[in-house]
């Protein structure tokens, strides 16, 4: 029998929520900023987008956790923003990107309401989706090593901090590297970083511009990679701990949150996988019925971090060359390793996955469509041809 829940969060879930928020935010905010920058966002739009992304996943996590009484951990789409970081800005610049963000959110919303669309996204072979993700991440994950050769005095302290702390506590590795990067930035600027006039992030509403190129080249790949590597695994993680919330309302909620926050510059809100495990296991709280408070409290801390996103973007703007790229690269190394291993593990898909990976990593753009789209197309054709040949 599951014990009844309480009306106030137990202390253990508050501390768990804080750790979850630190890991979720500081392990990947550099790539969020890089993705927004690649899409043509101004400094103010990037700060607004980071704030909107944090607020969106915070509020959605609070709502879903309190509503379902289950630890529904919500995140921004780290694979999705990594995709944006290696994709050319669409026609219409950042306004065109916002239009694509809005469409991707709408697709997620519809996937929650209309199950066949969700099943269609889930029908993309996992090895090909993982190969596409690893191809996207390759160019990002090699930056730390390029930086170590070009600017060792700024890159090596960050890399060594990540490596040494990671041998002691894996979850603390990236946040520790962020602290070292902050010190590097302060030192490079004579310990005088030009902060914004107000510590609170200013809201920047961007009206969307829609184009076929942006929908096919950004919105659809963003939807696919987020569904395949975040939403579907996030639901699976919850089920592995005995939580069986109906997937439809979860997807519809994060899709709706994505649509609203896209107008403020946020790329995508989704269900979390890694932090879902942190909220759902026994370290969150001994009583499974109380663990939803960990996800809800993480949402509260995400919102607080979002409020001060302008300070974070000011640090990023003052960073020496390749510092933010170094942070983003080491933060995504684990994701790259896992996606590459998953892509090539199944011998039946190995050739198609390799083609998907290589085409995606090539960075080509043909007919306005980016390499991620062509990687999936090429891998799919190879796999279909293989099936035809083997009968």
- Ranking 78-87, 123-132, 151-160 by mean pLDDT, the lowest is 123-132
For residues 99 and 301, is the Cβ–Cβ distance under 8 A?
no
d(CA 354, CA 147): 27
Tens digit of each residue's pLDDT (9 = 90 or more) over 176-226 = 998 999 999 999 888 887 777 777 788 899 999 999 999 999 999 999 889
In this prediction, residue 364 has a pLDDT band, given cuts at 50, 70 and 90, of: confident
pLDDT at 388 over 70: yes
Tens digit of each residue's pLDDT (9 = 90 or more) over 322-343 = 999 999 899 888 889 988 998 9
**Domain range summary for the chain, segments of one domain joined by +:** 12-341
Q: What are phi and psi of 286, to 5 degrees?
A: -60, -30
For residues 105 and 221, is the Cβ–Cβ distance under 8 A?
no
The pTM of this model reads 0.84
Determine the pLDDT at residue 315.
85
For residues 261 and 114, is the Cβ–Cβ distance under 8 A?
no
Q: What is the mean pLDDT of the chain?
A: 90
pLDDT at 5 over 90: no
Tens digit of each residue's pLDDT (9 = 90 or more) over 232-284 = 888 888 888 889 888 899 999 999 999 999 999 999 999 998 788 889 888 88
Determine the average pLDDT of the residues in 127-154.
92
Q: Name, in order, each residue with C-beta under 8 angstroms of 116's C-beta and a sequence gap of 6 or more.
A: none
Q: Between vectors from CA 45 to CA 42 and to CA 50, what angle results, nearest 5°?
A: 125
């Amino acid at each position: 029998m599951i014990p009844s829940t309480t009306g106030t969060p137990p202390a253990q879930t508050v501390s768990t929520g804080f750790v979850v928020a630190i890991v979720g935010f500081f392990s990947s905010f550099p790539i969020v900023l890089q993705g927004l920058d690649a899409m043509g966002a101004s400094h103010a739009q990037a700060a607004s987008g980071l704030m909107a992304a944090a607020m969106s996943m915070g509020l959605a996590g609070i709502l879903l956790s309190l509503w379902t009484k289950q630890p529904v951990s919500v995140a921004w789409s780290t694979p999705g923003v990594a995709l944006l970081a290696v994709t050319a800005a669409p026609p219409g610049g950042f306004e065109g990107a916002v239009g694509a963000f809005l469409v991707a959110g709408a697709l997620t919303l519809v996937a929650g309401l209309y199950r066949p669309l969700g099943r269609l996204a889930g029908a993309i072979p996992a090895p090909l989706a993982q190969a596409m993700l690893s191809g996207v991440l390759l160019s990002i994950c090699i930056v730390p090593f390029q930086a170590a050769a070009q600017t060792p005095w700024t890159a090596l302290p960050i890399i060594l901090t990540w490596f040494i702390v990671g041998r002691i506590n894996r979850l603390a590795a990236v946040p520790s590297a962020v602290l070292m990067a902050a010190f590097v930035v302060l030192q490079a600027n004579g310990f005088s970083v030009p902060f914004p006039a107000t510590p609170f992030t200013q809201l920047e509403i961007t009206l969307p511009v829609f184009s076929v190129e942006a929908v096919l080249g950004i919105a659809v790949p963003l939807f696919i990679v987020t569904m395949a590597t975040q939403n579907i695994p996030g639901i699976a993680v919850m089920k592995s701990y005995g939580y069986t919330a109906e997937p439809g309302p979860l997807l519809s909620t994060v899709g709706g949150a994505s649509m609203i926050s896209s107008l403020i510059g946020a790329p995508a809100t989704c269900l979390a996988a890694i932090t879902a495990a942190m909220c759902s296991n026994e370290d969150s709280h001994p009583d499974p019925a109380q663990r939803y408070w960990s996800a809800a409290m993480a949402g509260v801390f995400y919102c607080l971090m979002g409020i001060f996103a302008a300070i974070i973007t000011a640090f990023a703007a003052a960073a020496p060359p390749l510092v933010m790229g170094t942070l983003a690269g080491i933060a995504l190394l684990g994701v790259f390793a896992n996606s590459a291993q998953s892509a090539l593990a199944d011998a039946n898909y190995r050739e198609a996955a390799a083609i998907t990976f290589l085409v995606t990593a090539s960075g080509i753009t043909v007919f306005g469509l980016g390499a991620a789209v062509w990687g999936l197309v090429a891998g799919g054709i190879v796999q279909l041809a293989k099936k035809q040949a083997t009968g």
